Chain A
């Protein structure tokens, strides 16, 4: 006597052995199998035969396994995800650097206001750095979210900040621990950012028709 539940359980084992993971894919496949059996049975096909037809229609496990395996490639190995990850890490670091700049220059709003009206070489430098770091903060958020705009904006901002930091570092006292030794680190980081930024192919590929 044919036992449908037993047959389905056996089929599940075969799929599992073929490497089709539980719970989601297998659950979905089993639901599909049951619906097909139900439909066949309704049109008068005997249960065992209905089961056989349904299994055949779902497809041989080797083929399914190959198809599912395509989805299981390690996300870290995929180029898209590597790009996304690099950009997210850079986005966070970049946000930190620019937030630091911003807080540092924005802590004295009165000074900024005075500077705006009485521009002097160093003072205008501070104003410029404030605006630049503000743009940097915005850019890093876009970068983190994987927008192409974020990559391009950050590249330009990083190049400008690199120049500014080098000027600042070169023209002042370099003893470690002084604020200016940080500019050395920042300028290096800016360079690293430009070097490591990758354009997120991810966004474009998502829509590409394969």
Chain B
């Protein structure tokens, strides 16, 4: 059976921000859960180096796309939760538009090749 190869690291890096934004649009979350969710949804094909997510999150927070608060995990340890801000929603919409466009162009070209 045909299987999608692991996604290249450039694409992983480029898709980190839109994915995090889209994930947080479903409600607040924290680093570990975000990574697990992306892994699960991509069948493990989208693998982040786990630690790399945090600087990305911090940058997004600094740019005002997301905000964070300290909460507690079930085991009582401190845990940092992130959620979407208004600018983050706008950014998400922009990302979505651009990725959809790329996808449309790509699949349009592919279709032509089969005609």
- Which residues of A come within 8 Å of B, CB atoms? 24-25, 27-29, 31-32, 34-36, 38, 57-59, 63-64, 67-68, 70-71, 206-207, 209-210
Contact = CB atoms under 8 A, between A and B. Distances in A.
B32 A27 contact: no
A64 B95 contact: no
A189 to B, nearest CB: 31
A207 B87 contact: yes
The secondary structure that dominates the A interface is: helix
Given A25-B54, A64-B51, A206-B91, 5 more contacts: A31-B31, A35-B32, A68-B58, A207-B94, A209-B95
Contact of A32 (B31, B62, B78, B98): B31
Contacts of B80: 24, 27-28, 31
A71 B63 CA distance: 11
B16 to A, nearest CB: 11
B88 to A, nearest CB: 9
A207 B91 contact: yes
Contacts of B51: 29, 32, 58-59, 63-64, 67
Given A36-B50, A59-B49, A71 B59 contact: yes
Contacts, number: 74
B32 A36 contact: yes
B8 interface: no
Query: What 7 A-B pairs come out closest when comparing CB atoms?
Result: A59-B49, A59-B51, A58-B51, A67-B55, A35-B32, A64-B51, A57-B50
A25 to B, nearest CB: 6
B79 interface: yes
6 contacts: A31-B78, A35-B73, A36-B32, A63-B49, A68-B55, A207-B87
A70 B52 contact: no
